[in-house]
């Protein structure tokens, strides 16, 4: 008996649950609870609400894109040419410097002493040379009168010439000592921005050839950007190379605006066999120093401007096994899959080479239930548009609608009309 009672209770509970499910799954106003109002399934004649835009014709650049590396047009590693104690560093690392500006001062005492010694030796030998020349002049008339022998006169001439050579050697030694003294003061060979200091004041520096450079200076304006392109694009580059409209844009980010613009200054004379690419360089102004040596940037080579390019948003173009395609809306509101050939992409715009023409409507927001042949309506043409009109009228003339009893009807009429047009 208890078992029969339990079975009856379970049957009753099941019946109540089934009835509740049936009640809540019934269509409300012609639309099921699992389906958003105003939308169909796309199959079997249902109407889907989609967003679409028209393909437009506008001027678009013909471009070649690459990734480049920023490099200084001039880069100098400053090294000491003489050894000695570093007395002072009259600049800070990272500073801008000008050509000829003093960067390092090495203790010059030793080099000044050597220079002074060379000058003193030069003066001594010059005095001896003057004496030898005077002796030669005194002996010359005596030789003519045969008061002295030819040998005595030749000795005087030889002594004078020997001292002339000694004086020339002394002059070279003095010049060398002066140059060594000048090396104690290290100046900037170019204008640019300094890097990290390798040695601080007070340390002993060694002559060039040992260790790291004291500092590296890079020119920042103008600056070079090197990039590589596939060899198949070299023909296009060379064809437009001398065109005044050809320019090269430098972008920190592909979606951002160009930060610099320049001209092509170098095309390598060989194709890299390992990668099948050709190296190119552009020189761009960089007065604000927005790009730095060693930085990776996006390079956009604008070859020319296509005056009448068919353009659609990126969201409208879909990838497929046989290539790209778009969902096209025909004049009857039906969806059609249209294969297209993509020429290139510029930001959010895609240039279509073939497949669609200006004025064609392409879907940009694609529902998951969308299928070819489905009937669609554009967002804003359905219930939302009717509600806006009815709402405004009800707000501004509420009393009149209440008296006539047609307020509700007036608000619903545009919706029914839009649905009828969509069907």
Give residue-wise pLDDT tens across range 261-310: 999 999 999 999 999 999 999 999 999 999 999 999 999 999 988 888 99
Residue pLDDT, tens place only, 161-196: 999 999 999 999 999 999 999 999 999 999 999 999
Q: Would you state the pLDDT for residue 397?
A: 41
3-state helix/strand/coil string of 283-325: EECCCCCCCCCCCEEEEEEEEEEEEEEEEEEHHHCECCCCCCE
Output the pLDDT for position 395.
40
Strand partners, 96: 193
Token code pair at residue 59: 């001027």
Q: State the alpha helices, DSSP H only, in 61-203.
A: 109-144, 150-183
H/E run at residue 403 = helix 398-404
- 320's CB contacts (< 8 A; 6+ apart) are 339
pLDDT category of residue 35 using cuts at 50, 70 and 90: very low
What's the CATH fold of domain 80-106+187-216?
A: OB fold (Dihydrolipoamide Acetyltransferase, E2P) (2.40.50)
User: Alpha-carbon Rg of the chain, whole angstroms?
Assistant: 45
Determine the average pLDDT of the residues in 132-161. Answer: 86
Q: What is the pLDDT of residue 22?
A: 57
- Spatial distance between the Cα atoms of 303 and 245, rounded to a whole number of angstroms: 7
Supply the pLDDT for residue 404: 37
Which CATH number among 1.10.287.470, 1.10.10.1800, 3.50.50.100, 3.40.190.290 corresponds to the domain 108-183?
1.10.287.470
Q: What is the pLDDT of residue 372?
A: 86
What share of the chain has pLDDT > 90, as a percent?
45
What is the chain's length?
423
pLDDT at 213 over 60: yes
For residue 362, what are its two tokens?
């392409």
Q: How far apart are CA 386 and CA 412, in angstroms?
A: 7
Cα(130)–Cα(128) distance, rounded to whole angstroms? Answer: 5
Architecture of the domain made up of 65-73+219-306 = Beta Barrel (2.40)
Q: In angstroms, rounded to a whole number, what is the distance separating the alpha carbons of residues 352 and 342?
A: 5
Contacts 24+ apart (CB under 8 A), 107-116: 107/184, 108/84, 108/181, 108/184, 108/185, 110/84, 111/82, 111/84, 111/177, 111/180, 111/181, 111/183, 111/184, 112/181, 114/177, 114/180, 114/181, 115/174, 115/177, 115/178, 115/180, 115/181
Structure tokens belonging to residue 66: 């690459």
Examine the pLDDT at 410 and tell me if it is beyond 90. no
Taking 70 as the threshold, does the pLDDT of residue 383 lie above it?
no
The CA distance from 379 to 39, in Å, is: 10
CA distance 57 to 214: 58
CA distance 332 to 406: 33
Q: What tens digit of pLDDT does each residue of 52-105 get?
A: 999 999 998 888 889 999 999 999 999 999 999 999 999 999 999 999 999 999
SS3 state at 86: strand
Whether residue 140 is predicted with pLDDT greater than 60 in this model: the reply is: yes
Domain ranges of the chain: 65-73+219-306, 80-106+187-216, 108-183
Question: Whole-angstrom Cα distance, residue 140 to residue 54?
Answer: 110
Q: Which residue has the higher pLDDT, 399 or 129?
A: 129
Q: Which two tokens stand for residue 50?
A: 């989609």
Residue 416 has pLDDT above 70, yes or no: no
The reported pLDDT for the residue numbered 5 is 67
pLDDT over 80 at 122, yes or no? yes
pLDDT for residue 146 is more than 70: yes
The secondary element (H helix, E strand) that includes residue 2 is: helix 2-24
Q: Give tens-digit pLDDT for 48-58.
A: 888 899 999 99
DSSP character for 31? Answer: B
Which pLDDT band, with edges at 50, 70 and 90, does 375 fall under?
Answer: confident
Residue 332 is classified by DSSP as T
- Give the per-residue pLDDT at 366: 84
- Please provide the average confidence, as pLDDT, over all residues in the chain: 81
């Amino acid at each position: 008996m208890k078992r029969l009672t339990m079975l009856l209770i379970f049957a009753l509970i099941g019946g109540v649950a089934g009835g509740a499910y049936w009640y809540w799954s019934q269509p409300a106003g012609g639309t099921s609870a699992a389906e958003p109002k105003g939308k169909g399934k796309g199959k079997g004649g249902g109407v889907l609400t989609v967003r679409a835009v028209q393909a437009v014709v506008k001027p678009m650049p013909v471009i070649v894109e690459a990734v480049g590396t920023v490099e200084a047009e001039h880069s100098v590693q400053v090294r000491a040419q003489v050894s000695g104690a570093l007395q002072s560093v009259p600049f800070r690392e990272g500073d801008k410097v000008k050509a000829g500006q003093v960067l390092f001062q090495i203790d010059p005492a030793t080099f000044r002493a050597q220079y002074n010694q060379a000058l003193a030796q030069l003066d001594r030998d010059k005095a001896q040379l003057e004496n030898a020349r005077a002796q030669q002049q005194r002996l010359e008339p005596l030789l003519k009168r045969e008061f002295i022998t030819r040998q005595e006169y030749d000795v005087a001439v030889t002594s004078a010439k020997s001292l002339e050579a000694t004086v020339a050697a002394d002059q070279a030694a003095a010049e060398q000592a002066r140059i060594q003294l000048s090396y104690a003061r290290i100046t900037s060979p170019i204008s640019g921005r300094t890097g990290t200091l390798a040695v601080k004041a007070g340390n002993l520096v060694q002559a060039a050839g040992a260790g790291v450079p004291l500092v590296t200076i890079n020119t920042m304006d103008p600056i070079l950007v090197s990039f590589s392109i596939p060899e198949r694009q070299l023909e296009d580059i060379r064809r437009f190379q001398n065109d005044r409209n050809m320019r090269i844009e430098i972008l920190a980010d592909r979606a951002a605006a160009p930060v610099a613009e320049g001209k092509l200054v170098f095309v390598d004379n060989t194709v890299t066999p390992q990668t099948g690419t050709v190296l190119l360089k552009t020189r761009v102004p960089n007065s604000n120093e927005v790009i730095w040596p060693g930085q990776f940037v996006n390079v956009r080579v604008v070859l020319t401007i296509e005056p009448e390019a068919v353009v659609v948003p990126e969201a409208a173009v879909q990838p497929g096994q046989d290539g790209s395609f778009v969902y096209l809306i025909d004049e009857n509101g039906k969806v059609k899959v249209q294969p297209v050939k993509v020429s290139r992409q510029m930001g959010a715009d895609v240039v279509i080479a073939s497949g669609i023409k200006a004025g064609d409507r392409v879907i940009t927001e694609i529902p998951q239930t969308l299928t070819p042949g489905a009937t669609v309506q554009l967002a804003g043409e359905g219930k939302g548009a009717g509600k806006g009109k009815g709402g405004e009228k009800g707000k501004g003339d509420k009393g009149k609608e209440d008296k006539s009893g047609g307020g509700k009807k007036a608000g619903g009429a545009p919706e029914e009309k839009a649905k009828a047009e969509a069907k």
